[in-house]
A and B are shown apart, each in its own frame.
Chain A
Amino acid sequence: NAGVTQTPKFQVLKTGQSMTLQCAQDMNHNSMYWYRQDPGMGLRLIYYSASEGTTDKGEVPNGYNVSRLNKREFSLRLESAAPSQTSVYFCASSDGDGISGANVLTFGAGSRLTVL
């Protein structure tokens, strides 16, 4: 009963390096999300994918790219990391239909990224 699995859990990068955060869900959910959590800022949406084959920008997409590889997997890539991208990143998934009604997000345990 894994739910949402994120890797890696911790990562330290130097400015300018690139890396990819991986996320996989085993609940057959249609929608997947990437959020970042910073003190005093709450959870801010970076990108989301309402269904396989689609991706959309959230509140803070600059400096990030995403790939919805298949229904299970949604990756977040930092092409040239900056200190401002030091944060805790959360992947989430949901089975909401997006038309109306509930949209319950199931979150992973988070990935703590430090950019020096």
Chain B
Amino acid sequence: QQQVKQSPQSLIVQKGGISIINCAYENTAFDYFPWYQQFPGKGPALLIAIRPDVSEKKEGRFTISFNKSAKQFSLHIMDSQPGDSATYFCAAKSGGYQKVTFGTGTKLQVIP
């Protein structure tokens, strides 16, 4: 059972465009929602994260939007660049536990 559902599986965006990746969850005990970025041949690395008491968090060109009532959160990449081409994973952690559950990933390609 996939606890964190992620879409789309792949995404092609023109340079300068906006990339949007969506995730949905069912477990209301989740209390921390990070996004990880993975380049080919490397391990994932934390990109940005949000707690459920905040509706939006922005770091540079990267923004997380969080909708607690809909149990959805999304990553927006503004002014997308070829260097942003990578696989992006949303994730969630349950309060009181160390276990982190990941979505299935989105492969982003930014074309010049």
- Is there an interface contact between A90 and B43, defined as CB atoms closer than 8 Å? yes
* Stretch touching chain A among B13-21, B60-68, B71-79, B91-99: B91-99
- Chain A interfacial residues counted at CB < 8 A: 32
Q: Is A84 engaged at the interface, CB distance under 8 Å to the other chain? A: no
Tell me the residues in window 11-41 of chain A with beta carbons closer than 8 Å to chain B beta carbons.
31, 33, 35, 40-41
A87 to chain B, nearest CB (A): 14
Q: Is B101 engaged at the interface, CB distance under 8 Å to the other chain? A: yes
0/1 per residue, A41-63, Cβ < 8 Å to B? 11111001010000010110000
Tell me the residues in window 34-73 of chain B with beta carbons closer than 8 Å to chain A beta carbons.
34, 36, 41-46, 49, 51
- Is there an interface contact between B97 and A98, defined as CB atoms closer than 8 Å? yes
- Is there an interface contact between A45 and B43, defined as CB atoms closer than 8 Å? no
A56 to B98, CA, bound (A): 10
Task: For B105, list chain A residues within 8 Å (CB).
Answer: 42-43
Given contacts A40-B104, A103-B32, A104-B49, contact A45 B99 (CB under 8 A): yes
A4 to B45, CA, bound (A): 12
A59 to B9, CA, bound (A): 21
A48 to B100, CA, bound (A): 10
0/1 per residue, A73-116, Cβ < 8 Å to B? 00000000000000000101010101111111111111000000
Partner pick for A102 among B36, B43, B49, B97, CB 8 A cutoff: B49
Partner pick for B99 among A48, A100, A107, CB 8 A cutoff: A48
- Is there an interface contact between A101 and B32, defined as CB atoms closer than 8 Å? yes
Instruction: Add 6 more A-B contacts to A48-B98, A101-B31, A103-B93 (CB < 8 A).
Output: A98-B96, A104-B34, A104-B49, A107-B43, A109-B43, A110-B41
A residues at B contact (CB < 8 Å)? 4, 31, 33, 35, 40-45, 48, 50, 56, 58-59, 90, 92, 94, 96, 98-110
B residues at A contact (CB < 8 Å)? 6, 9, 31-32, 34, 36, 41-46, 49, 51, 89, 93, 95-105
